[in-house]
Amino acid sequence: MTLLVLTAEQIKALAEFAESEGQASYTITHTTIPAFEDEGGEVVPEYTGLVAYSGSEEHGVLQLED
């Protein structure tokens, strides 16, 4: 069994994210998001760590680790 431990700060960040995104549920997982170029042309670096996301492709992904 893999345990995911969230700090109080991460839980607060997730609650704020959920309120702003307005989705009914979120999945938390450990993953790698490859580097990519955003709509403004800036390169977003690769991220490996905990993320929270909803099933909607129209909403964001929250990085739960720095």
Q: Look up residue 33 and give its two tokens.
A: 């998001």
pLDDT digits (tens, 9 = 90+) for 29-53: 889 999 999 999 999 999 999 898 8
Question: How many residues are given for the chain?
Answer: 66
Does residue 43 contact residue 35 with C-beta atoms inside 8 Å?
yes
Round to whole Å and give the CA distance between 42 and 4. 31
Please give the pLDDT value at position 1: 66
Report residue 3's pLDDT band, with 50, 70 and 90 as the boundaries. confident
